Homo-oligomer: A and B are copies of this chain.
Amino acid sequence: MIVAGIMTGTSLDAIDVAICDISIEGDRESVTLVSFASTPYPDDVADLVSAAIAGTATMEQLSDLPFELSRAYAAALSPFRPFAIDLIGVHGQTLWHHPPVSTWQGASGPALSALIGLPVVHDFRAADVALGGQGAPLVPIFDQMMLRHATQDRIALNIGGMANITLLPNSRIAEQPNNRIEEERSVRAFDTGPGNVLINAICRRTYGARYDDGGRFARAGVINQRALDELKAHPYFAMEPPKSTGREVFSDDMAEMLYRKFAHPSVPSEDLIATLTELTAWSITDHILRYQPSTTEVIVSGGGVHNTYLMERMRTLAPGMVFTSSADHGVDPDAKEAMCFAYLAARTYHGLPGNIPSVTGASRAVVLGSVSAQTPIR
């Protein structure tokens, strides 16, 4: 089955499309990346999404948004049409995330399906939230299938706009069915806080750069310890998982506030970028050390893997753990989330649940999303 996964994250910089060859048969599952491209997010759609998230969009704009997004997705898909795609999984754009009350993923499955004439699965978070879950993160079921090891305790880390980790304790117990005393340790996962969101906001504000390429700004700066200590005191970091966060907490507004508070003609902008990079490195490694100190390997994906300074800081803050790129395990670090939504779409299409209750806090495992199909769904 050829499945296209479409991911648009909180950073609004690109529409990621991953074409995957997926096989789901009983316990034997595989996802192989066939092709991947990251298309720039159209400016007018990014403006619409930003206005929605900022709460300044009109009802008309909010109504138009999923249709504009669908047209942008259809355009991003068009170079891949030669792949004979069977199914599309689209994450959509998170406009509001307020678990366990509600979540709002802007995307129209019916519109996209009608435009391209293929079945589309969308709105993956709502069912989990309706069952009391956080609706996030959803990547852990993919991490578990691709990255879990029989004898090593691993962590899958994704650094996008936000950063999240999946605790993958070794599956040894599960492979000894006669040993009924020890229970299999659950996969757990949660957002650790900001990934690149604050760093990117300051790079834009100060250098007009979309991100800190290779961490060069941060590397040139000096950490402002007072600012860092203040940021570490944000209540999100101390909260017990399951927990998730987003741009309604770690926002451009927050970055702007930090800029106004700490920027000064005598202080290089690099200092604030270094400080925010340290916040990301600290919040990630602090959660790892708190919740799975036995970790041997941290497998990193998302844009943050390219920030070599951030990677160095994490290695320093969590000595004894190996930090690798997910590419070493068959998962292109930039394509990972798009691959995950291709996999989740295939699960939904096969009537299989996509959430892990120990991760999201939902009352049960549930088939996620909604299928819009231009052909009989049987």
Contact = CB atoms under 8 A, between A and B. Distances in A.
A285 interface: no
B130 A96 contact: no
Interface in A329-378: 349-351, 366-378
Interface string A60-77: 101111110010000000
Contact of A98 (B60, B97, B111): B60
A263 interface: no
A37 interface: no
Contacts of A112: 130
A96 B67 CA distance: 13
B96 A114 contact: no
A67 to B, nearest CB: 4
Contact of A104 (B63, B123, B374, B377): B63
Contact of A64 (B101, B113, B124, B127): B101
Nearest to A375: B351
Nearest to A101: B64
B376 A351 contact: yes
What is the predominant secondary structure among interface residues of chain A facing chain B? mixed
A163 to B, nearest CB: 23
B371 A371 contact: yes
B108 A67 contact: no
Contacts of A95: 59, 63
Interface string A106-140: 00111111110000001110111111000000000
Q: Which of A52, A102, A378 has the most CB of B within 10 A?
A: A102
B110 A368 contact: yes
A58 interface: yes
Contacts of A114: 126-128, 130-131, 366
A214 to B, nearest CB: 35
Interface in A40-95: 52-53, 55, 58-60, 62-67, 70, 95
Interface in A299-318: none
Contact of A101 (B67, B96, B101, B367): B67
Contacts of A127: 110-111, 113-114, 372
A98 B63 contact: yes
Contact of A378 (B108, B113, B378): B378
A245 interface: no
A103 B63 contact: yes
Task: Give 5 closest A-B pairs by Cβ, nearest first.
Answer: A351-B376, A111-B130, A63-B96, A114-B127, A370-B370
